[in-house]
Structure 1
Amino acid sequence: MGYIMDLRAIVGSRPLIMPGACVLIFNENRELLLQRRTDTNDWGTIGGSLELGESLEEAAARELFEEAGLTAKSFKFITVLSGKDMYYKYPHGDEIYNVMAIYEAQEIEGNPKVNDEESHELKFFTLSEPIVNLNPFTEHYLRKAGYITEW
């Protein structure tokens, strides 16, 4: 079990502050890779929470490989988002306040593939038009980071 699961065993579904990293992966057409998540059944970005002793960049690299089978030569830091706007309640009741470092993966190696139990599928999307069934939290931070400006 990971750090957050260990905490959940103690505190239940009460709100936690969850630091983590989100990785944006763009193809040559500037389409964004999203995963249809198994926990919410909607489309979200690759990413997750920190494990003990892990840096944000290490978390980004780990999540990129775990969730999409990809590696990156480097990560371009975009921004950190936090505060009341970063609150999220999962369908099963767990509550979190995310502190999310957003990175763009650079010089990606490999072909995207579902690589763990957190995804149903992976797919590239254009950000110029609305994405059906986009996780509202994901939409929020893509807007805050400037990737979505109109819809």
Structure 2
Amino acid sequence: MADYIKDIRNLIGTRPLIVVGSTIIVLNDKNELLLQLRADTKDWGLPGGGMELGETLEETAKRELFEETGLTAETFEFIEILSGEEYYFKYPNGDEVYNVIALYIAKEVTGELFERDGESLELSYFPINNLPSSIEGRAKLILEKYFN
């Protein structure tokens, strides 16, 4: 979590925040989707996270992709901004957020999968038509919108 968000949390506790960030769709050459088994909720999600002060949304996508997966992308294709009540999330520690998500597809991805930041228990590619049953709510909304 960014120091910026930590600093705000120290002031307001777990009350809801509007958090801006990026989420990244990564497809391999077999058109399989990369998911991460989240350490905090123990369900599958998409790589991504909160924007740091001074970053662009694309820089956030690049940093989060590398931090969470060890992968880098040559470019990111912007899909859209997602927001609203359905992107509310309550973390296991009680922190509440309303997400504003810049959704990207990573292009020309290189590197080896590596769980770098402790936010993932596992990283794995899945066929689009055979995803795990336990998918985190925000990721499920995104996947239903773009892959159904």
Q: TM-score when scaled to structure 2?
A: 0.94
- The equivalent residue for 2:112 is 111
Code of the aligned partner of 2:73? A
Q: TM-score when scaled to structure 1?
A: 0.92
- The equivalent residue for 2:45 is 44
SS of residue in 2 equivalent to 1:18: strand
Code of the aligned partner of 1:27? N
- The equivalent residue for 1:17 is 18
SS of residue in 1 equivalent to 2:63: helix
How does 1:123-134 map onto structure 2 within 5 Å? Answer: 123-134=124-135
Deviations, residues 73-122 of structure 1 (Å, cap 9, x unaligned): 10001111011111111122111100001001000111111111111110
Code of the aligned partner of 2:101? M
SS of residue in 1 equivalent to 2:34: strand
How does 1:45-124 map onto structure 2 within 5 Å? Answer: 45-124=46-125
Code of the aligned partner of 1:139? K
- The equivalent residue for 2:31 is 30
Q: Report deviation, 1:129.
A: 3.3
Code of the aligned partner of 1:39? D
Code of the aligned partner of 1:109? T
Change (3 A) 1:71 1:130: closer
Coordinate RMSD, CA, aligned: 1.2
Q: Which consecutive residues of structure 2, in runs of 5 or more, have no partner in the other structure?
A: none
Q: Which consecutive residues of structure 1, in runs of 5 or more, have no partner in the other structure?
A: none
Q: Report deviation, 1:126.
A: 1.6
Code of the aligned partner of 1:131? P
- The equivalent residue for 2:141 is 140
Q: Report deviation, 1:130.
A: 4.4
Instruction: Provide the rounded CA distance (Å) in 1 between the counterparts of 2:38 and 2:109.
Output: 22
Instruction: Provide the rounded CA distance (Å) in 1 between the counterparts of 2:121 and 2:36.
Output: 7
128-137 or 10-19, which moves further after superposition? 128-137
Deviations, residues 27-54 of structure 1 (Å, cap 9, x unaligned): 1111111111111111110000000010
Code of the aligned partner of 2:4? Y
Runs of 4+ in 1 over 6 A off after TM superposition: none
